[in-house]
Amino acid sequence: MQSAVRSAHNQALAYAVQEANRLKVPVLAVFGLTPSYPAATARHYLYLLQGVRDARAGLQERGVPLLVGLTGVHGPAEAALALAPGAALIVTERGYLRQLRAWRAWLTERLAAQHADLPFVEVESELVVPVGVTSVKQEYAARTIRPRIHRALPQYLTAYEDPDPQHHLRDVPRPTELEWLHPHDLKDPAGLVRRFGVQGVPPGREEGGEVAAQAQLRHFLTRLDRYDRDRNDPTLDGASGLSAHLHYGQLSALQVALAVQDHGGPGVDAYLEELVVRRELSFNLCWYSPHYDTFEVVPDWARRTLQDHRHDERRDLYTPDELEAAATHDPYWNAAQRQMTATGRMHNYLRMYWGKKVLEWTPDPEQAHATLVRLNDRYEQDGRDPNSYAGIGWVFGLHDRPWTRRPIFGTVRYMNAAGLKRKFDIETYARRWNGPQGDPDPTL
C-alpha cells in the first residue's frame, strides 16, 4: 500500500482481498516509509503519516493488519521483498512518477530472480479510466484526450465489489531485514516526524488522512451546485479542497466522481471535467513523457517562440530566494506565494498567474521552470504530483496553443494583474495574505 493509502474505495486492496478469499489465505497490508524521500519536508511527512494512521485504523476494522517498515533508497519495494517468502501474491497500486515506477521495477527484477513463481500485480487505483486504456501515447491537449475518456467512462465510472477478508492472520510476520514501526507509534504522526528529524517547511493548516478526506468530500458536495460559478474566485470557498487528499491516495478519484454524479446539479459537468479529463491528462503526461518535470516537456512550438524572445528586456528580475520570500513588487503575486508557504495550498487560478510571472521575472525560461518546480514541490501540500507538473508545463505552453505575440512570452499565453481584477476582488485576497510583517490576516 503506497499510492492508495486508504482502507476503502481502494481498487488494489479490493483485488487483493478478492484473491485472498479465492486462495483461502489472509491479507497483510504493508507500507514502506522512507524518511529521506527527495524534496519531502515536515509538511509532507505529517500529512502522509496522518494518512497512514487512518488507513491502519480502517484496515484494522476490516481485519487487515498494516505493517509499516522503515526503508531505504528502494522504498516500499524493500518491505514487499522482505515479506515475499511467505506470500501467495503481491499486489500494489500503479505508480506514475519516476520514483514510484523505479521502485516497482526494482521489485519486479528482484522477484524474478529470487521468487520466480510469486505473482506480482499492479492495479490502477488512482484514476477513473486507466491510463493505458485512455491512450497509448502522450496526448496533445484536453481536446484530444476528452473524447477518448468520455468513450470509456460508461465502462469505468461504475462501482465495484469491495469484499472483506474471510481469513485472518494470527501472527503478523516482521522480517528482521527491516525495522518495523510499533502500531502505537502510528497514533502520533507529529511525534514520528520529530523522531525522524525531518526538517524544512513546517506543517500546513489542513489535517490529512482518510477521515478528513471523507469529511471534506461531504462538505464539497454541499457546495457543488455553486462550483461552476465560484471555483475561480480565491475569495470564496469554491474549490473542492480535495487535491491533497487525492495526491496522497487518501481519497479515491472514482469515489469522488461517483458521489458527484449521484449528487447531480449544475456543478457536475464542470467538476468532472477537472477531476477526470484535466487530471487524467496530467497522468497521461507523466506516464508517457520522461521529461514531465523538466523544461524539455515544453512543446516544440513554445520552446521556439520562447527561444526567439529569451533576450527580450525584462523590466523586473528576481532571484529564486527573493521569489521564495515573496519579495516582489506585485502584491497579488506575493499574496499567492504567502498563501502557499503558510498553508500548503494556492488557489488554482492564482497558480497560473504565479507561474506566468515567474517566467516574466526570471532571466530565462529554463531557470523559470526549475524555480517553479522547486517552489511547488517544496511548499504545496499536493506538490510532486502529475497535476502540478502539467500545470507548470502549461505556464510555458504545454497543453495550450499559440496566442498573440508579446515580449518575453512570444506566442505563449500571457497573464496580467488586470485579468485578476476583472474576474474577482483581488484586493481583498491580497489584504488577507499580505498582513502586517507579511503574515496572513485571519480576520479577512
Position 65 in a domain: yes
In this structure, are 267 and 330 located in the same domain?
Answer: no
User: In this structure, is residue 330 part of a structural domain?
Assistant: yes
pLDDT tens digits along 385-427: 999 999 999 999 999 999 999 999 999 999 999 999 999 999 9
Which of 68, 103, 126 is the endpoint of a domain? 126
Band (pLDDT 50/70/90 cuts) for residue 435 is confident
96 shares its domain with 33: yes
Instruction: Measure Cα distances from 33 to 70, 89, 186, 383 in Å.
Output: 5, 21, 12, 18
**Same domain assignment for residues 242 and 353:** no
Q: Which residue has the cell 468530500?
A: 217
Number of domains composing the chain: 3
Question: How would DSSP label each residue in 140-199?
Answer: SSHHHHHHHHHHHHHHHSS----PPPSS--SS----TTSEE--GGGGG-HHHHHHHHT--
pLDDT value, residue 440: 55
> What is the domain range of residue 223?
127-165+210-288
pLDDT attached to residue 442: 43
pLDDT of residue 443: 38
In a domain, 89, yes or no: yes
pLDDT per residue as tens digits for the range 39-57: 899 999 999 999 999 999 9
Q: Which residues pair with 69 in a beta bridge?
A: 32, 180
Does 280 reside within a domain?
Answer: yes
Write the DSSP symbol of residue 401: -
Q: pLDDT tens digits, residue range 259-292? A: 999 999 999 999 999 999 999 999 999 999 999 9
- Phi, psi at residue 90, to the nearest 5°? -115, 130
* CATH number of the CATH domain containing 328: 1.10.579.10
**Quick one: pLDDT band at residue 201, thresholds 50, 70, 90?**
very high
> Which CATH number covers residue 46?
3.40.50.620
Mean pLDDT of 174-195: 95
Structural contact between residues 244 and 437, judged by C-beta atoms closer than 8 angstroms: no
Tens-place pLDDT, residues 118-156: 999 999 999 999 999 999 999 999 999 999 999 999 999
Residue 325 confidence (pLDDT) above 80:
yes
* Distance, first Cα to last Cα, the chain: 41
Is 182 a member of any domain?
A: no
**Which of 242, 263, 288 finishes a domain?**
288
pTM of the model: 0.96
